[in-house]
Structure 1
Amino acid sequence: MSDNAAYDERQHIQALVRAEHGDPFAYLGPHDESDGRVIRTYLPTALRVELLDGESGATLGDMQQDQTPGLFRFTQAPQRPYRLRIHWAIGEQETEDPYAFGALLGDMDLYLFNEGNHRTMGQVFGAQLASHDGISGVRFSVWAPNARRVSVVGAFNVWDGRRHPMRLRHPAGIWELFVPRLQAGEAYKFEILGQNGLLPLKADPLALATELPPATGSVVAPPLHFDWHDQAWMDARQAHQAHNQPLSIYEVHAGSWRREGEGEGQLLGWRELGEQLIPYVTQLGFTHIELLPVMEHPFGGSWGYQPLSQFAPTARYGTPQEFAAFVDACHQAGIGVILDWVPAHFPTDSHGLGRFDGTALYEYQHPYEGFHQDWDTYIYNLGRTEVHGFMLASALHWLRVYHIDGLRVDAVASMLYRDYSRKDGEWIPNRHGGRENLEAIDFLRHLNDVVATEVPGALVIAEESTAWPGVSRPTREGGLGFAYKWNMGWMHDSLKYASEDPLYRGHHHHQLTFGLLYAFSEHFILPISHDEVVHGKRSLLDKMPGDRWQKFANLRLYLSFMWSHPGKKLLFMGCEFGQWREWSHDHPLDWYLLMYGEHQGVQNLVGDLNYLYRHQCALHQLDGQAEGFQWLIGDDKANSVYAWLRKGEDGMPLLVVHNFTPTPRLGYRIGVPLAGNWAVALNSDAERYAGSAAGSQGELTAEEAVSHGEAYSLVLDLPPLGTLILRPESS
């Protein structure tokens, strides 16, 4: 061996021993050298290694350990497949040599990844069960372009980063390694040597499964091969979820909807949730369940809004297969499933995405761009093609692999503006000097276009709290392309009005009329979400003014107002039966309250509102169009009465009247467009809802008397703090 070759070998050995080798395949494994074929393996703490014939299993001889403990070699090795029999202090292991395999990932996969257009990352990268050269095992890969060395570690190599250093694929920046004979269920992480030293062990950004928190490891998972039974739902979904169809969403935090046992109780798994939640939602007539983020997240107190595994369902409620079974059961019951999804930011946990390879890889480098002060999180750099593609692939993963019907994109406002929640001088303008985050805007538009093309019928919904124009307008028309936008303005105004003492509501009359000025500028969802019943905001029932009777009457009135107002509906769990206390993610809902009539009454009302909403086309067909709404009374401040007509595509109207005072309004005349009998379809003060049974009931006949611009009119008795909904007898 020449002096130069010996020097090269010393460098290789030193780099392996120090766990700094950035190209282990250049030295380990089989190599044809001037004096024949040499096989090397580095197995620290191994006692002895035998070389076996890969086909017959016959022993070819012991590999020789030189002066470096753990470094074994076999010279004059035959040119055929081989295996290693490794003798450890605790037993023997027989396996193929990871360094005997060639390049694993295809060039097109690498190209698409770097281009930001790999749509099936979850089926290619991360930890994938695979077979190479007829040998089964796990193919690991991870993007860490600025790392000096990356190893995969786990119990299978006693978490020793010297055992399985990976190959870097230039110029993609992706490290890969095939570990033969490894099976599903193994926990693993990546040990990364950055430019400035060793980093904390990192979880796999593309893991398909994880350990149960507080453990933070990724878990090798098989591809989801689930026997779906929801083809009828999937075939009809695009029609079910069209803008002219009812959309009534029950928002759920899976960990606190209901629990088993005493005290805080045990979390329900997906199986138990399927058995209990789905019948409940079906009984109440909701069309969809929306789950707070189920992507794995280290801190349960974040409710899922600080996820680190964008491809893995949390292990808190069961396996990926059990989550798929839950979605399948929802679909078979005619219930859609929407997931909250967070592409805006991620937590700073040391095992997560932050400074993943020692540099700002997934996040912006500068804290004025890359750090969220409100939430103590990093902000995704969506202008980087690989990060853009990573998040796009995550969205498609849930929609395709798990048959999810929609994604509600969290914190869109924080994505759109570079100065969101920042003081002057603490944000960096875009390339034009403006405050808009152009990279995030491009990502959102691309996301919506890709989903519309590749998963037709799936919904993408924006939680957007500003007046950004065209959120739900198609991208071809300059919009962001979302299917719906949460109407945060309506939520704030209506809740503020509802919390006012009825004596003073006349001074705030505009808070209920203002929303109708822009109600048709977007496709809106009216959200009463988890955010409105935590952190001292009080529960929905407890927001209402007055004594106990008035609080329940106000709640029934508010829900009736919401369901009869233009816009799709979203209600957070517990609001449907009038929970008194604020929601806590650590405690189940107070189901015992349903032994009381007032709470049963609210629950009955929600069920009846959903039934009316789904079966009366006037309440849902023209939600986003001005033609579906007509004011009758919007200026009666003295009585705090509002009245309007809702219309469907056939033009048949429903009359909606709200009395926001505890004073019954007897003989109140309201104009209607049709003669004949009108039937009371809903009275929120009815005895069925634990009301006082006041107000008009049954049928009334329209008189030929002009009122509110209509040729006919009805004389109604308006219940105190109540809603009446009437329909022509022919409808």
Structure 2
Amino acid sequence: MQQIPLLARAQCATPFDCLGPQVEDSAVTVNAWLPGAKSVELIDWTSRAPIEKMACIEDSSLYSVTIPQADLPQLYGFEITTAETTYQYLDPYQFQAQAYHAVHYIDHAPENLYQQAGAQILTVTDVSEHAIEGVRFAVFAPNASAVSLIGEFNLWNGSSHPMQRTELGYWVLFVPYLGSGTQYKYQVKDAHGNELPHKADPIGFSAEQYPSHASRVYDHSQYEWQDSAWMNRETSDPYTQPMSIYEVQLGSWKRPDHDTGERYLSYRELAAELIPYLVEMNYTHIELLPISEYPFDGSWGYQPVGMFAPTSRFGHPDEFKYFVDQCHQHNIGVIIDWVPAHFPEDGHGLARFDGSCVYEYEDPRKGWHPDWNSCIYDFGKDTVRQFLVANALYWLDKFHVDGLRVDAVASMLYLDYSRNDGEWIPNVDGGNHNYEAISLLQWMNQEVYKKFPRAMTIAEESTSFAKVSRPVFDGGLGFGFKWNMGWMHDSLHYIAKDPAYRRYHHGEITFSMVYAFNENFVLPISHDEVVHGKGSMLQKMPGDEWQQAANLRCYAAFMFGHPGKKLNFMGNEWGQALEWNHDAQLQWDLLQYEKHAGIQALYKDLNQLYRDIPALHVFDCDPQGFEWIDHENADQSIVSFVRKGPTNQPKVYAVCNFTPLPRENFRLGVKDAGSYKLLLNTDDKAYWGSEYPVQTAMTAEKLAWNHQSHSIIINVPPLATLFIIAD
């Protein structure tokens, strides 16, 4: 038989042509490739009755028998005797229709990819209603010469389960009696027959850590969600709702054995500890650094390999669902960082998946990222576009996440990103925009908002690319929000200056309002600002110990007063002393000291005020909600502005003193007559402030000031922000 050498070398691309039932006229020949077998008998699987002994062909592992077609039962199997044991085995190669079924629908809609490809648990019922549960595998490797399914069930033997090549480039096989938890990988041979490193499933729903990096079969239907109230809540406009996001890297928020760092908190342990903390601190959302499986801890998840698998560092996929479920039951929205820009070269991953560039651009001028030494997805290839859009939908669908913060968008938009002249390929018009990536992002956003109208997408985009958070029909990319990197860079540069020199940099703290409503902005103080030698937020602040803390408190309140949704990385909220280290937990022990406990109390109160007072959030993305009172007071390094909500809601005035000099009897213009009260003072004793005397109640005088009809007199403490509201 000519296929024997191919089967022996695991190079058979069409096993359905030679294995399983081969019908000719009124007879059927059943062939089985069974390495290690000493003798084999064909049996009726339902009754387990023997039918006929099978012959070994050419002293190989191929066993064959020919019988009348009428004698072949609906389900058949083998009784196999090896040197060690005898066992019965249901032949997977009789399930050709079930295997092929996957590829008929994969390209009809993006979500079909995760519903049909990968490892799908199926139940097959024959005419006698004998139910057989198993797993259908489908993997895309269009230029492979052969693909085999390997796993613990066949001792990782590449010749045991050759997969069938299909016209669409998928390789398929249905294997009965496999189920959830089964380890597996793919043995792939390139177009020349060379064996590649064993590959994890690109659509794998669960993955193992080093050293195996194997995929595991996972059943999405088993988890019973309890968040129906959240998922069915009335749709509200996210732009007018408060959004204060706590950005978290789950491996370093807390560690149960923080002295040795040998273990992480599990998803369930995090649900028990992290969620109550979010509630106590009045956050509305949590944002998780990438959850998709990644091989290297030091990448923090930004070099993902298993795009469809929640990292198993913290537990099983069901446990991640439990974490999200618990967040929702406590009215916390869940945002995950999503990385469609690039992926690492790890051998078990997507890079040169079948020996060719299945997922990445082939030309390194487009397909290799010099900053991160990683592969760039081929955004123009239909199969890659479906892969990425399907993945975005998958997290919203199967894990109920509420939003995707899309990483490194600028690197996708520009062909010359981090490249010198001659190192990049212009587009068809000679420019540097990657039209393929732009089109992909637009499609992704359209699909997300069409299928999950309560969801949100947020772009980390660091350039002035136009209309990032504007609808596709208006020529935009279609994101819901964009990180305001300009505000972040300018304001941090300003606040790091010695107060004596801030008067010369006053424009850095006010310039953001020139473009504050060009996009729907999120103000981010993220993990990127407290790593790689940048120091913690507290370390950025100038001055002595008291001034550092006061600067941080003043800046935090300025952020909460500024238009835009809010994001702070974990540890910022109590003034972590050291920059973030992913190999250790946060410095929770600092909260025993009044300084850090006071900073934490301020963030808690800021979150509460931001949530409770419409003027501070309703018009975060609308220019009618903001007006400068005085942005020109560079000599005193003071800025003042008013935040406005709906007409029936009181306005909030913010005064920020960025010097250590108190300003007594400071006159502030206000819009209306009447009485005013102090809403928040970052110099309050409760926040470890100096408790400089400040008026808590004021009455507006009919004295025009700052181009306003009325004014009030207040003392402004050193390095402090005040919020004042009409009483």
Summarize deviations over 1:203-252 as a string: whole Å, max 9, x none.
0000011113343000011124322221221222631x620110000000
Work out the CA distance in 1 between the residues paired with 2:707 and 2:224: 59
The residue type equivalent to 2:723 in the other structure is I
Conserved 8 A contact 1:98-1:178: yes
The residue type equivalent to 1:15 in the other structure is L
Aligned to 2:110: 118
How far did residue 314 of structure 1 move? 0.7
SS in 2 for 1:192: strand
Does 1:63 find its partner at 2:60? no
How far did residue 665 of structure 1 move? 0.5
The residue type equivalent to 1:270 in the other structure is Y
SS in 2 for 1:137: strand
Q: Decide which moves more: 704-713 or 47-56.
A: 47-56
Work out the CA distance in 2 between the residues paired with 1:612 and 1:670: 22
Aligned equivalent of 2:704, options 703, 706, 712: 706
Aligned to 1:666: 664
How far did residue 620 of structure 1 move? 0.6
SS in 2 for 1:576: helix
Work out the CA distance in 1 between the residues paired with 2:172 and 2:380: 25
Conserved 8 A contact 1:50-1:62: yes
Q: Residues 693 and 363 from structure 1, CA distance in 2 versus in 1: closer, same or farther, beyond 3 angstroms?
A: same
The residue type equivalent to 2:182 in the other structure is E
SS in 2 for 1:557: helix
Aligned equivalent of 1:545, options 542, 556, 575: 542
Aligned equivalent of 1:260, options 256, 263, 267: 256
Conserved 8 A contact 2:462-2:485: yes
Does 1:22 find its partner at 2:13? yes
Conserved 8 A contact 2:106-2:116: no
Work out the CA distance in 2 between the residues paired with 1:304 and 1:423: 28
Does 1:245 find its partner at 2:241? yes
Residue pairs, 1:613-624, within 5 angstroms: 613-624=610-621
How far did residue 265 of structure 1 move? 4.7
Aligned to 2:148: 151
Work out the CA distance in 2 between the residues paired with 1:516 and 1:306: 35
Work out the CA distance in 1 between the residues paired with 2:559 and 2:234: 25
How far did residue 35 of structure 1 move? 8.9
Q: Residues 523 and 576 from structure 1, CA distance in 2 versus in 1: closer, same or farther, beyond 3 angstroms?
A: same
Does 1:48 find its partner at 2:45? no
Conserved 8 A contact 1:127-1:138: yes
Aligned equivalent of 2:651, options 641, 650, 653: 653
How far did residue 452 of structure 1 move? 1.0
Conserved 8 A contact 1:95-1:181: no
SS in 2 for 1:151: strand
Q: Residues 112 and 129 from structure 1, CA distance in 2 versus in 1: closer, same or farther, beyond 3 angstroms?
A: closer
Aligned to 1:79: 72
Work out the CA distance in 1 between the residues paired with 2:485 and 2:570: 18
Aligned equivalent of 1:217, options 211, 214, 218: 214
Aligned equivalent of 2:579, options 575, 579, 582: 582
Q: Residues 214 and 544 from structure 1, CA distance in 2 versus in 1: closer, same or farther, beyond 3 angstroms?
A: farther
Under a length normalisation based on structure 2, what TM-score does the superposition of the two structures give?
0.97
The residue type equivalent to 1:49 in the other structure is V
Summarize deviations over 1:233-279 as a string: whole Å, max 9, x none.
1222631x620110000000011100102332520001110111011
Work out the CA distance in 2 between the residues paired with 1:68 and 1:389: 46
The residue type equivalent to 2:716 in the other structure is L
Aligned equivalent of 2:96, options 89, 102, 109: 102
Aligned equivalent of 1:162, options 143, 147, 159: 159
Work out the CA distance in 1 between the residues paired with 2:412 and 2:249: 24
SS in 1 for 2:3: helix
Does 1:405 find its partner at 2:434? no
Summarize deviations over 1:489-543 as a string: whole Å, max 9, x none.
1000000101000011011100011111000111000000000000000000100
How far did residue 73 of structure 1 move? 1.1
Aligned equivalent of 1:561, options 558, 562, 572: 558
Does 1:276 find its partner at 2:282? no
Residue pairs, 1:443-462, within 5 angstroms: 443-462=440-459
Aligned to 2:412: 415
Q: Decide which moves more: 178-187 or 411-420.
A: 178-187
Summarize deviations over 1:294-329 as a string: whole Å, max 9, x none.
111111111011111111111111111111111111
Work out the CA distance in 2 between the residues paired with 1:105 and 1:162: 18
Aligned to 1:685: 683
Conserved 8 A contact 2:105-2:116: no
Aligned to 2:527: 530
How far did residue 76 of structure 1 move? 2.4
Work out the CA distance in 2 between the residues paired with 1:336 and 1:464: 22
Work out the CA distance in 1 between the residues paired with 2:83 and 2:571: 57
Work out the CA distance in 1 between the residues paired with 2:329 and 2:447: 27
CA RMSD of aligned residues (A): 1.4
Conserved 8 A contact 1:104-1:176: no
Under a length normalisation based on structure 1, what TM-score does the superposition of the two structures give?
0.96
Conserved 8 A contact 2:340-2:388: yes
How far did residue 193 of structure 1 move? 1.1
Aligned to 1:4: none
Aligned equivalent of 1:139, options 130, 136, 141: 136
Conserved 8 A contact 2:601-2:686: yes
Work out the CA distance in 2 between the residues paired with 1:176 and 1:289: 39
How far did residue 184 of structure 1 move? 1.6
Aligned length: 716
The residue type equivalent to 2:256 in the other structure is E
Work out the CA distance in 1 between the residues paired with 2:481 and 2:25: 68
Work out the CA distance in 1 between the residues paired with 2:286 and 2:85: 51
Conserved 8 A contact 1:683-1:695: no
The residue type equivalent to 1:703 in the other structure is E
Summarize deviations over 1:567-598 as a string: whole Å, max 9, x none.
10000000000101111111000100000000
Work out the CA distance in 2 between the residues paired with 1:541 and 1:727: 29
How far did residue 103 of structure 1 move? 2.8
Residue pairs, 1:226-375, within 5 angstroms: 226-236=223-233, 238-239=235-236, 242-261=238-257, 262-375=259-372
Conserved 8 A contact 1:270-1:322: yes
Work out the CA distance in 1 between the residues paired with 2:640 and 2:305: 48
How far did residue 148 of structure 1 move? 0.8
Conserved 8 A contact 1:213-1:315: no
Conserved 8 A contact 2:680-2:722: yes
How far did residue 34 of structure 1 move? 6.5
Conserved 8 A contact 1:250-1:288: yes
Aligned to 1:488: 485
Does 1:91 find its partner at 2:91? no
Aligned to 1:675: 673
The residue type equivalent to 2:357 in the other structure is A
Aligned to 1:3: none
How far did residue 106 of structure 1 move? 6.1
Gaps spanning 5+ residues in structure 2: where?
none
Aligned to 1:595: 592
Aligned equivalent of 2:432, options 435, 442, 451: 435
How far did residue 104 of structure 1 move? 2.6
Q: Residues 314 and 221 from structure 1, CA distance in 2 versus in 1: closer, same or farther, beyond 3 angstroms?
A: same
Aligned equivalent of 1:518, options 496, 499, 515: 515
Work out the CA distance in 1 between the residues paired with 2:184 and 2:650: 62
Work out the CA distance in 2 between the residues paired with 1:665 and 1:642: 13
Aligned equivalent of 1:189, options 185, 188, 192: 185
Q: Decide which moves more: 176-185 or 54-63.
A: 54-63
